[in-house]
Amino acid sequence: MSRQVKAFFSLALAVVLLLASLSGCAQQATISAPPVQTKIIAFLTDYGTKDFYVGAVKGRILQINPEAKIIDITHEVTPYDIHEGALTLLLAAREFSNDTVFLAIVDPGVGTERRPIAAQTNDGKIFVAPDNGLLTFVLQEFGVKEVRQITNESWMRPGERSYSFHGRDIFGPVAAHLSLGKSFSEVGPVITDYVNLPISPSKVENGKLIGQVLWIDQYGNVQVNITGKQAKDAGWAINDKIRIEVGTATPLVAPFVHTYGDVPEGDPLIFQASTDFLEISINMGNMAEFLGAEIGALVTLTKE
């Protein structure tokens, strides 16, 4: 074999070995580079699903984070009902992991001076919403780590923003950026004067559990913002008699039981509902009508 042929084969071998080495490095780099881990976005509104609003918000989110996993909590909150939205948000948020980003929009004041905000709770959850009290119950239950006003325009929809559709132009994009793991501090300045609904956390005074009416369902059952755990911590046991005072209604006494069928039809009862809150009911009857109960009414419960 001539010297020239040997040199050619040596060069060819060197090139093959170099290409193999580079290919191995590329494969190693590909294997070692972890995929981008994005946070779930849990989405709640009063938009309904007939119109384009929900789809437009999701489209804007996916422009920013194509890998976003968007979970619909509901879009059927009664229009403009901030209290209902706040309670629905809490009851759903309990079941999500602590690294979830919640996008909550019930916003009758859209386009006015009400602020867009984002809140981080002590357990790590992030909530993006209008500053109108919609976050009241999640902040009470999960604890406030930090609340910031949304001012970072680079995180908002490019171009002119609508006065009437901040879900698409502000809230959705901010939730998308946060779902990518971007720093919460980039949202905007910290605020402490955010709006709360007029429902105070429940408390215990001199053995009495004191709270407010939180929810009245379609059956007229009355749920209060006092939990079953608080009742048990206060020494309640099944079949104990509980004195119930709601607003200005005449007090009544009812047993603390497991469920409606534990008392005869037409009798009152109090129990820990699936929401973990205490529920005051009449078996097969309407307790709200009987008491004249309204959302926010003062409730005092005393073990007899």
**Same domain as 173, residue 261:** no
Q: Determine, yes or no, domain membership for 221.
A: yes
Which residues 6+ apart lie within 8 Å of 81 measured at CB? 46, 106
HSE-CB for 194 with a 13 A CA cutoff: 26
Task: Quick: pLDDT tens for 18-58.
Answer: 555 555 544 554 444 445 578 999 999 999 999 999 999 99
Task: Quick: pLDDT tens for 104-114.
Answer: 999 999 999 99
pTM, to two decimals: 0.87
**Same domain as 210, residue 162:** no
CA angle 148, 135, 131 (to 5 degrees): 55
Task: Quick: pLDDT tens for 201-255.
Answer: 999 999 999 999 999 999 999 999 999 999 999 999 999 999 999 999 999 999 9
Q: Determine, yes or no, domain membership for 196.
A: no
pLDDT surpassing 60 at residue 267: yes
Q: Determine, yes or no, domain membership for 120.
A: yes
**Same domain as 159, residue 54:** yes
**Same domain as 94, residue 65:** yes
**Same domain as 228, residue 180:** no
**Same domain as 56, residue 178:** yes
Q: What is the pLDDT of residue 38?
A: 87
Domain final residue, candidates 118, 152, 186: 186
Q: What is the pLDDT of residue 260?
A: 98
**Same domain as 165, residue 48:** yes
CATH of the domain at 160: 3.40.50.10790
**Same domain as 140, residue 93:** yes
Q: What is the pLDDT of residue 24?
A: 53
- Provide the terminal-to-terminal Cα distance of the chain, rounded to the nearest Å: 109
Domain final residue, candidates 186, 213, 234: 186
**Which class for 101: exposed (0-12), middle (13-18), buried (19 or more C-beta within 10 A)?**
buried
In this prediction, what percent of the chain has a pLDDT beyond 90? 88
Print the domain residue range for 151. 41-186
